[in-house]
Amino acid sequence: MKFPKRTISIAALAALAAATAMTPVSAQEEPIKVGILHSLSGTMAISETTLKDAMLMLIEEQNKKGGLLGRKLEPVVVDPASDWPLFAEKARELIEAEKVAAVFGAWTSVSRKSVLPVFEELNSILFYPVQYEGEESQRNVFYTGAAPNQQAIPAVDYLMEEEGVERWVLAGTDYVYPRTTNKILEAYLKSKGVAPEDIMINYTPFGHSDWQTIVSDVKTFGAAGKKTAVVSTINGDANVPFYKELANQGVKAEDIPVVAFSVGEEELAGLDTEPLVGHLAAWNYFMSAESEANAEFIDTWHAFIGDENRVTNDPMEAHYIGFNMWVKAVQAAGTTDADAVIEALPGTEAPNLTGGTSVMLANHHITKPVLVGEIQDDGQFETVWETGGLVPGDAWSDYLPESKPLKADWVDLKCGNFNTETNRCLGTAQVGN
């Protein structure tokens, strides 16, 4: 509406401007910011970039439903560039500068360990979507990936019981997750009667590329007359030359099967999968899962990304579950306030993509099925074994003496490492790793 110039004085304009400046924008009109903390460059970009894309899709889909609490969601993407200290810096930027309501991200355990003090100090929320070593339960973190009892232990049981494996190569990247997982697996194998000489453990740095000697050692170790398997916690782009070297040296799945915990559909997309057919991976989700929820998710993903050849994978499903749980908790709390949402999350249910319903537990882990899949020549997995139901995630391993008496319960005990023998919460004391 245009006013005649004669009706607006300079004084009136000044008063109008002052009144506008003094009137705050309604909180209902401001978007709710969601932080995305995944490496888009460096050695882990092969795995993490697709998780950034998945989060953008989930946020877009939620906005189509009207957003959250009547407000749109706004993604804030940062690139910690596979640089572990930079994760902490970028997390602080998201929380302090961008004022995000929650953060979805991190992959390696060393990146998660890097940001834990930031989330505790600033009292924000992290949803961590990747399988990890356990031995942790932090009030501000919700672990939607697998704990060892939801991946590593069942995979070993499968190999032992179904494949008759007697000798074990525990091969991993040299950082927290492989070392702690293998510590748990070594104790578990010994509890099952496996002799120390039948366990070989090897670690390599991130981005390791020369696998000739190591694969040769694996072949030698497997030539002792006992069925041998490789349990792989090799992470990131080092998997590409590792599997190539297996093929170069003629290591076939029927001779020495490899079961991987960090190789899914996204990693296989960069490999010639023909020589890998028959090798295995243990996850809680495969793209090949037959369910209506999964079919809908895949269709939505392909439409969003504009490429029907793009795959889905387990950590994407973990973000799907975690994001939907966060939405429900915010709706239940009626606010994005961290304390209120943290209080609302335990007991929250959300569908998973294998056809069931996952629940957030008091220890901030979720219930998940466990699947063992065999690599196919099209880069997909055929499920060859799965648990009969959903497995609750354990924060603390029963196979490590220092962890066995510990319990995580943020609902009743308000503690992530309560010692059931001394009836004392250890608080921020470090246990295990």
SS3 sequence of 323-372: HHHHHHHHHHHCCCCHHHHHHHCCCCEEECCCCCEEEECCCCEEEECCEE
Q: What is the per-residue pLDDT for 305?
A: 97
Please say whether the beta carbons of 276 and 259 come within 8 A.
no
Q: Percent of the chain beyond pLDDT 90?
A: 85
Give, in order, the Cα–Cα distances in Å from 206 to each of 146, 171, 175, 322, 429: 21, 13, 9, 28, 28
Give the pLDDT mean for 85-101: 98
Q: What is the pLDDT of residue 274?
A: 82
pLDDT at position 70 over 90: yes
Of the ranges 130-134, 162-166, 304-308, 427-431, which one carries the lowest mean pLDDT score?
427-431
CB 122 within 8 A of CB 88: no
Average pLDDT over residues 214-228: 95
Q: How far is CA 126 from CA 40, 68, 165, in A?
A: 18, 18, 38
- Over range 95-118, report the average pLDDT: 97
Average pLDDT, the chain: 91
Q: Supply the pLDDT for residue 14.
A: 41
Instruction: Tell me the CA distances in angstroms from 73 to 31, 61, 106, 397, one per residue in order.
Output: 5, 10, 20, 37
Q: What distance in Å separates the CA atoms of residue 73 and residue 80, rounded to the nearest whole number?
A: 22
Q: pLDDT tens for residues 255-310?
A: 999 999 988 998 888 778 887 899 999 999 999 999 999 999 999 999 999 999 99
pLDDT in tens, 304-362: 999 999 999 999 999 999 999 999 999 999 999 999 999 999 999 999 999 999 999 99
Q: How far is Cα 431 from Cα 361, in angstroms, rounded to an integer?
A: 21
Asked if residue 396 has pLDDT above 80, the reply is yes
Kindly tell me if the per-residue pLDDT of 16 is higher than 90: no
pLDDT at 73 over 70: yes
2 pLDDT more than 50:
no
d(CA 350, CA 62): 14
In this structure, of 4-8, 290-294, 394-398, the range with the lowest mean pLDDT score is 4-8
Spatial CA neighbour of 154 closest among 370, 315, 393, 374: 370
Contact 323, 352 (CB under 8 A): no
* Element (DSSP H or E) covering residue 204: strand 199-204
Q: What percent of the chain has pLDDT over 70?
A: 92
pLDDT score, position 275:
77
What is the signed CA dihedral for 249, 259, 184, 156, rounded to 10 degrees? -120
Of 431 and 301, the one with more pLDDT: 301
pLDDT band at 428 (very low <50, low <70, confident <90, very high): low
Give the per-residue pLDDT at 8. Answer: 37
Average pLDDT over residues 30-37: 98
Range from 17-21, 147-151, 180-184, 287-291 carrying the lowest mean pLDDT: 17-21
Q: Sign of dihedral through CA atoms 56, 59, 65, 71?
A: negative
Spatial CA neighbour of 421 closest among 402, 394, 400: 402
What per-residue confidence (pLDDT) applies to 236?
82
Spatial distance between the Cα atoms of 127 and 135, rounded to a whole number of angstroms: 17
Please say if the pLDDT value at position 176 is more than 70. Answer: yes
Res. 231 pLDDT band, cuts 50 70 90: very high
The pLDDT, as a whole number, for residue 433 is 42
Domains in the chain: ranges and CATH: 29-146+290-368 (3.40.50.2300), 150-283 (3.40.50.2300)
Q: Is the pLDDT of residue 54 over 90?
A: yes
| β-bridge pairing 381-386 and 371-375 | antiparallel
More confident residue, 429 or 322: 322
Q: How far is CA 69 from CA 94, 241, 279, in A?
A: 21, 48, 46
Pairwise pLDDT comparison (404 vs 2), residue with the higher score = 404
**Pair 128, 145: CB distance under 8 Å:** yes
Q: How far apart are CA 373 and CA 290, in angstroms?
A: 14
Which amino acid makes up residue 187?
Answer: A
- pLDDT at position 237: 83
Polymer length of the chain = 433
Q: Is the pLDDT confidence value at 132 over 60?
A: yes
Q: Going by DSSP bridges, is the β-strand pair 228-233/258-260 parallel, antiparallel, or unpaired?
A: parallel
pLDDT band per the 50, 70, 90 thresholds, residue 154 = very high
Torsion of CA 389, 395, 397, 403, to 10 degrees: -150
The pLDDT of residue 3 is above 50: no
Amino acid 102: pLDDT = 98
| Among 22-26, 82-86, 160-164, the least confident range | 22-26
Give the integer Cα–Cα distance in Å for 58 and 42. Answer: 25
How many C-beta atoms lie closer than 10 Å to residue 51's C-beta? Answer: 26
